[in-house]
Amino acid sequence: MITLYSMPGSSATAPRIALDEAGADYNLLEVERDAAGNNTAPPGYDALNPMGKVPTLVDGELVVTEAAACCLYVAEKYPNSELMPAAGSADWAKTLRWLTLLTNTAQAAFLRWYYPGQYTS
C-alpha cells in the first residue's frame, strides 16, 4: 500500500488529489514541524527524505519525492484513471505546465507565509 507523507497547505496536496482521483488505497501521514521549520514527527522522516521536505510517497521499497514526480508516478501506476493525457500531445504539455506551476511555483510563495522566520530577521 502507498503511504503519502504530507503537511496541510503544502505541495503534497497535488499528489493527494491524484491518489484520490485514481481511487488508490493509501495511507496519509502528516509531517509535523516546529516554528523554525524543523521536522519533529514522524520519527525518522528525515532519513526517508534527506531533503526533509514533503511530499514523500512510499510504495513498497520505492520512495518518490517532489510533488510533480509523485503525481506522475500515480498517473503511471493507475493508467485507467486517465490522470494524464497521452504523452507528447498538446494536452499533455498543457497539463505539465499546470502541474509544475501548482507543485513548484505557487508553493514557494506559501513558504514565506508559513515560515516567515526563515526569510526575515
What is the pLDDT, as a whole number, of residue 23? Answer: 98
pLDDT of the chain, 121 residues: tens digit per residue: 999 999 987 889 999 999 999 999 999 999 998 877 788 889 989 999 999 999 999 999 999 999 999 999 999 999 999 999 999 999 999 999 999 888 877 777 777 777 677 777 7
| Fold that domain 2-118 belongs to in CATH | Glutaredoxin (3.40.30)
Burial of 89 (0-12, 13-18, 19+ CB in 10 A): exposed
